């Protein structure tokens, strides 16, 4: 009986460790994916980051994602996305919270009017800027 309890305890401990390792691995990989790739970071201007030399760059294709918040201009060079400009609709009370210049596999821009925010994520699909995700949030009173 004692041996059986020891085996059950070892099995439970091993299972718990395996689950924790799995959760850690999935959350780490998921965070890397959600962080918009290994290259970019949100900045207002940073001309020091360049794509790796081994990545060929095709002719740039520029487009903008526009809405009630303003516009986010993105340029694609093959699979690399560059945030060119973020123009808020100031007349409607929108401002830029942040935007990512790239180069990266996707670039983001966040606009806010004080009551709500809009987070845009744009990537290059076959060399053309494509809206991947638009997230609208209602902001608190503080």
What's CA 77's distance to the chain center, in Å? 18
Residue 32 tokens read as 């890397």
Which pLDDT tens digits describe the chain residue by residue (142 residues)? 888 888 888 888 888 878 877 777 776 665 555 444 444 444 444 445 555 555 556 689 999 999 999 999 999 998 899 999 999 999 999 999 999 998 999 999 999 999 999 999 999 998 899 999 999 999 876 5
Q: Identify the pLDDT of residue 1.
A: 85
Helices (H) and strands (E) in the chain, counts: 1, 7
E-assigned strands of 28-115? 61-67, 70-77, 80-88, 95-99, 106-112
d(CA 65, CA 80): 17
Work out the end-to-end distance of the chain between its first and last CA atoms, rounded to an integer number of angstroms.
Answer: 61
- Is the separation of the CB atoms in 61 and 127 below 8 Å? yes
- Is the separation of the CB atoms in 83 and 109 below 8 Å? yes
- Within 10 angstroms of residue 99's Cβ, the number of other Cβ atoms is 23
**What are the extents of the domains in the chain?**
1-34, 61-138
d(CA 60, CA 76): 5
Residue 64 tokens read as 């903008």
């Amino acid at each position: 009986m004692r041996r059986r309890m020891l085996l059950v305890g070892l099995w439970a401990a091993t299972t718990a460790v395996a689950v924790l390792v799995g959760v850690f691995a999935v959350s780490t990989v998921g965070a890397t994916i959600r962080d918009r790739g290994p290259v970019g970071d949100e900045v207002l201007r940073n001309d020091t980051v360049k794509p790796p030399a081994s990545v060929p760059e095709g002719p740039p294709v520029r487009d903008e994602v526009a809405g009630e918040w303003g516009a986010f201009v993105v340029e694609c060079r093959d699979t690399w996305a560059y945030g060119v400009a973020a123009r808020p609709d100031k007349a409607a009370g929108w401002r830029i919270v942040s935007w990512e210049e790239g180069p990266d596999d996707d670039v983001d821009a966040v606009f806010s009017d004080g009551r709500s925010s809009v987070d845009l994520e744009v990537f290059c699909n076959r060399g053309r800027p494509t809206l991947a995700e638009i997230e609208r949030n209602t902001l608190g009173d503080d």
